[in-house]
Amino acid sequence: MALSAVLYGGLAVGLAGLLSIAMPLRCLGIRSRRVGALVLGAGLVAAVASIAWPAPTRHVAGLASRLDEILPAFEFSEFHETRVHASPAQVMAAARAVTPEEIRFFVALMEVRALPARLLGKLPPRSRRPPQATPLLELFLRGGFVMLGDEGDEIVFGEVGRFWRAADTSAGAVIHDADDFQELATPGLAKVAASLRVEADGAGWTRLTTETRVAATDAGARRAFAAYWRLIYPGSALLRTAWLAAIKGRAERSVAPD
C-alpha cells in the first residue's frame, strides 16, 4: 500500500533528521544540524500527510462473491492470492484446518499487535502454551469474529470494533450473523469482513484468495481507522500471505501421489 510506504519512509527520514540534530549523518549527505532539522520536518510532514490522506468509499461493480453481497461498499481493503496444486475441496479443507503453528510469523505478529494493550494491563500476560494446535478459523470465531457466510467455496467472517484503540477495542454492539453485520450503523465503529475463496484453475490447480474489507460507520471512525490501517498494513499483508502459504502447503501435502 503506497500510503503505508510513505508513512514508514517519512518516519525513517524523520529519524535520520532527528539523529542529525545531535550529530549530522554525513554518510547520508546531512552535513549540518540545520539540515538535520529540515530533514526531520520533511519526514514528519510526509508521515502526517500519509495518515491524514482521505479514504474514499469504493463500491464493487457487481456481486460476484458472498463478500460482495455482505460488504459491497468499503474504504479500506487488501487482497492476496496464490495457486495451489490441489482440488478446490482439498484447499478449502486445508483452509479450515490450518493452525497458527503452520503460519510463519503468526505468533510474533500477534504479540506485536497485542503489546500496547498488554502494557496498559488490558490483556492478561501471555500464556506459556498458546493454543497453536487449534485451527486458526476456530480461534478467530472464539476471539470475537462471527461467521457471515459459508458457501462451500467461500468463507466470510467479520467483526466490528474500535480496532485503533489499544486499551478498549470493544464495539459496544453485538452481531450474530450477516444481517446484523450489514444493518449495524452505530457511530464510531469499523466493520471488518474477510474472506477465503477457492475456484478451479485448470489442470488440477486451484486459485486461493483472501480479501479483507473495512467500512467505517462515520467520518471520525474513518479517520481513526485510516491511521491504524496505514500503520499495521505491512504486518497485515505479511500475515495474510503467510496464511495462504500455510494453506497451500497443507493442501498439497494432502494430495495423494500419482
DSSP states of 144-190 as a string? T-EEEEE-SSEEEEEEEE-TT-SS----S----SHHHHHH---TT-E
- pLDDT for the residue 131: 59
Q: Are 167 and 62 part of one and the same domain?
A: yes
Q: Kindly tell me if the per-residue pLDDT of 257 is higher than 70.
A: no
- pLDDT for the residue 174: 84
Q: Residue 89 has which C-alpha cell?
A: 475441496
Contact by Cβ (8 Å): 254, 90? yes
253 vs 90: CA distance, rounded Å: 10
What average pLDDT score do residues 94-121 get? 74
Q: Are 123 and 173 part of one and the same domain?
A: yes
Weakest mean pLDDT among 55-64, 102-111, 166-175, 238-247: 166-175
What average pLDDT score do residues 202-221 get? 97
Q: Provide the domain count of the chain.
A: 2
Question: What DSSP state is assigned to residue 28?
Answer: G
Weakest mean pLDDT among 69-78, 104-113, 230-239: 104-113
Q: Are 118 and 182 part of one and the same domain?
A: yes
Boundaries of domain holding 191: 58-254
Q: Kindly tell me if the per-residue pLDDT of 130 is higher than 60.
A: no
- CA dihedral sign of residues 226, 227, 232, 234: positive
- pLDDT for the residue 128: 47
Considering only CA atoms, which of 21, 18, 14 is closest in space to residue 46?
Answer: 14
What average pLDDT score do residues 7-20 get? 96
Q: Are 41 and 78 part of one and the same domain?
A: no
Among candidate residues 36, 52, 68, the one where a domain is terminated: 52
Q: Which residues contact 90 (CB under 8 A, 6 or more apart)?
A: 206, 251, 254, 255
Distances (CA, A) of 161 to 22, 181, 192: 42, 11, 8
Q: Residue 102 has which C-alpha cell?
A: 503452520
Confidence of residue 120 (pLDDT cuts 50, 70, 90): very low
Contact by Cβ (8 Å): 219, 79? no
116: enclosing H helix or E strand: helix 106-119
Q: Are 122 and 34 part of one and the same domain?
A: no
- pLDDT for the residue 79: 97
Instruction: Tell me the average pLDDT of the chain.
Output: 89
Among candidate residues 52, 68, 87, the one where a domain is terminated: 52
Among candidate residues 52, 69, 84, the one where a domain is terminated: 52
Confidence of residue 125 (pLDDT cuts 50, 70, 90): low
What average pLDDT score do residues 58-85 get? 96
Confidence of residue 119 (pLDDT cuts 50, 70, 90): very low
Q: Are 20 and 142 part of one and the same domain?
A: no
- pLDDT for the residue 37: 96
Q: Are 46 and 92 part of one and the same domain?
A: no
Which pTM value belongs to this model? 0.87
Q: Are 9 and 113 part of one and the same domain?
A: no
Question: What DSSP state is assigned to residue 257?
Answer: P
Phi, psi of 149, deg, nearest 5:
-170, 140
Amino acid, single-letter form, for residue 159? E
